[in-house]
Amino acid sequence: MKALKSLYPVLVLFTLLASVGCTKATKVAGTAEPLKPSTKTKSFTLLATTDFHGALLPETVTTAAGEKVEYAGAALLSSYVKIAKSKVSGPVFIIDAGDMFQGSLESNLAEGAPVVQFYNYLGVSAAALGNHEFDYGPVGPDSIPLHPDQDPRGALKARVQEAKFPILGANVGEEPSDETPSWLKRSVVIEQDGIRVGVIGIATPSTPTTTTRANVVGLKFHAPLTPVLKEVKRLREEEKADFIVATFHGGGGCFINWVSKLEDLSSCDDQGEAFELAKKLPAGAIDVIVAGHTHKGVLKKVNGIPIIQPFSHGKYMGWVDVKLAAETDNHPRALLGTSVRGLVQICGGVMKDKNGFDTCDPKSLAKYADKVLPATFLGMPVQPDAEVVKLLEPAIASVKPIRDRPVGKVEFTDSIKRSYGSESAMGNLVADAIRESVPGLDLATTNGGGLRADFPAGKLTYGDIYESIPFDNQLAIVTATGDQVYKMISVGVSGNHGALSWSGLSVTLGEVGENPCRISEVLVNGQPLDPTKTYRVGTSDYLATGGSGFDSVKLTDSQIEVLRDQDRIIREVVFASMSKWTKTFTSTDFLDPAKPRIVFKDTCKKKD
């Protein structure tokens, strides 16, 4: 459900250190007065996380030699944080850029509570409000309010109450006053060892179209620049902040993230929300941006502001060192410089990659047959934090029987892959399962952003389905005209909102007149799409009610039937359909490269 433009190889930035450069104090409204720095200094460290998505358990990759390597997960991440704290001088502040809870059985069945427990233990200083923080809806099993007495943000408010760290959204207003909701803060000042760090939180303005709309009714998500500058002025002038961090659940992505190329933006997304904000900020307003939302890696300086985005799911943490003047003639202290260490990979074991760096990147390890080495960080051995294992044990044990439940006799000879930007075997499988779940459906479709993990080779479990489809979106039956179906297809191939996978439909894109990438043919079950005919389409309520660009289709309420019960959650629909399947499948059963359901002719560049 996030607007990613492309996928790219993971770049490991493990121990590189390079100066971003000294930030000179400039007289700008809301920024510090120019100061003469003292010869004495104070330093602190920022550690950055983002898009954890409930990833409490470690992931495992099998090397080419058959060895197992664990990476990510709460216990390993905690070990890295503890080692960092033991090795640096000065305070350590942990800043998160949002989307903390949604994504795993262990987190979702408790509506995010285990993640809050873990973040409290870890010592997170502050977090931005992510779009998926709203996904749970009211407290209890309903994912949206079905009765007038249900609070659409009840589960989120419960997590806010439990958190020992503030959740921030300076650009979020609540109707009718447009003031910040009482359960949310715009910014916070964290003080330790005499250092005052101001943190401003920003939610992505796209939140209403990237979560279930019913749960954000009455909230407004404004463009960030004006709210951020307002908070900068208050933090600098009233709160006397020495350093200001913006934690933004809006990011970007860069193919090249090497510290030595901080100034080179040529490999970065043209339109990244964090980049756009940085370009508009006056000099000296914000000192560092911690970004998120896109699940990509960023380690760049834009308009003089370091932006750090450590991918997602606890696989990396970002690291920035800051040096301040310890004494000055007036307050706040002068910023002497920021140094970016990089994006630190969270590994339980490592191999040497082709450049000689330690890595646990699954794509790399799957190709290597070298001996797996114990992971070390800053010269210290890495072991999963036993206290975190103990802390999370009840949540993990409670869902294990559910996680391990087999999906009928389904077995795969190879992995069933998902894709955000193009038709995928996983997407086609899910669309097929939806279509066969309701007699009389002409078509079914699902969006790549709603699929969060591949199906592994071998026998499938309910846990595999849950990891792939963690959202509690309900099955919706849309009665659409052929013209509206055409608009749905157009949304999916535009490249603006991620791709759609279809069942019952085939599309060809190619040269039509002056447009080299126009839809040239659409077949519904082998017959040409009739613009005036009515079709029954199975999909999620998220799409049917306007998510990921479907608002442009302009479906009316009378055209949408949402099936609101637990058995009609898309994940449960897929589980029920697949439980009836008895054969062993290969990925080509769902996406044959020689015969894709969506065909891009040579004249049309594939959106991926």
- The pair of structure tokens assigned to 72 is 């990510």
Q: Give pLDDT, residue 516.
A: 63
Looking at the chain, the domain(s) classified CATH 3.90.780.10 span 404-600
CATH architecture of 18-391: 4-Layer Sandwich (3.60)
**69, containing H or E segment:** strand 68-71
Q: Give pLDDT, residue 419.
A: 95
Backbone angles phi, psi at 223, to 5 degrees: -55, 140
Q: Give pLDDT, residue 603.
A: 64
Q: Could you read off the pLDDT of 479-536 as tens digits, one per residue?
A: 999 999 999 999 998 877 889 999 999 999 986 666 667 899 999 999 999 999 999 9
CA atoms within 13 A on the CB side of 518: 7
| Alpha carbons 351 and 364: distance in angstroms, whole number | 9
| Alpha carbons 180 and 219: distance in angstroms, whole number | 9
pLDDT along the chain (608 residues), means of 10: 31 36 33 47 95 96 91 98 96 98 95 98 98 96 93 98 98 97 98 95 95 94 98 96 97 88 88 94 97 96 95 97 78 84 95 86 86 94 98 96 95 95 96 97 96 94 95 95 96 86 94 71 96 96 92 95 88 96 95 93 61
Looking at the chain, the domain(s) classified CATH 3.60.21.10 span 18-391
Q: Give pLDDT, residue 423.
A: 94
Closest C-alpha among 233, 229, 240 to residue 328: 240
- The pair of structure tokens assigned to 500 is 């759609």
Report strand pairing: 305-310 vs 297-302. antiparallel
Q: Give pLDDT, residue 34.
A: 43
Tokens 């960080």 label which residue? 377
b or e along 576-600 (b: 16 or more beta carbons within 10 Å of the residue's beta carbon)?
bbbbebeeebebebbbeeeebbbbb
Q: Give pLDDT, residue 326.
A: 75
Q: Give pLDDT, residue 59.
A: 94
Strand, helix or coil for residue 446: strand
Asked if the bond preceding 145 is cis, omega within 30° of 0, the reply is no
Closest C-alpha among 608, 60, 549, 85 to residue 347: 60
Residue 254: DSSP 8-state? B
Q: Does the 404-600 domain belong in CATH 3.90.780.10?
A: yes
| Alpha carbons 126 and 260: distance in angstroms, whole number | 29
The alpha-carbon radius of gyration of the chain (Å, integer) is: 24
| Alpha carbons 309 and 316: distance in angstroms, whole number | 9
- The pair of structure tokens assigned to 390 is 């103990």
| Alpha carbons 222 and 33: distance in angstroms, whole number | 29
Report strand pairing: 505-512 vs 515-524. antiparallel
pTM: 0.85
Q: Could you read off the pLDDT of 237-257 as tens digits, one per residue?
A: 999 999 999 999 999 999 888
Residues 6+ apart with CB under 8 A from 76: 58, 70, 314, 346, 347, 348, 382, 384, 385
Closest C-alpha among 357, 339, 419, 370 to residue 11: 357
Q: Following DSSP, what letter does each residue of 517-567 receive, concatenated?
A: EEEEEEEETTEE--TTSEEEEEEEHHHHTTGGGGGGG---GGGEEE--SGG
Angstrom distances, CA of residue 494 to CA of 51, 303, 543: 26, 30, 16
Q: Give pLDDT, residue 605.
A: 60
| Alpha carbons 197 and 535: distance in angstroms, whole number | 56
CB of 76 within 8 A of CB of 346?
yes
| Alpha carbons 484 and 552: distance in angstroms, whole number | 9
Report strand pairing: 68-71 vs 59-62. antiparallel
Strand, helix or coil for residue 595: coil
Tokens 């509690």 label which residue? 472
Q: Give pLDDT, residue 35.
A: 41
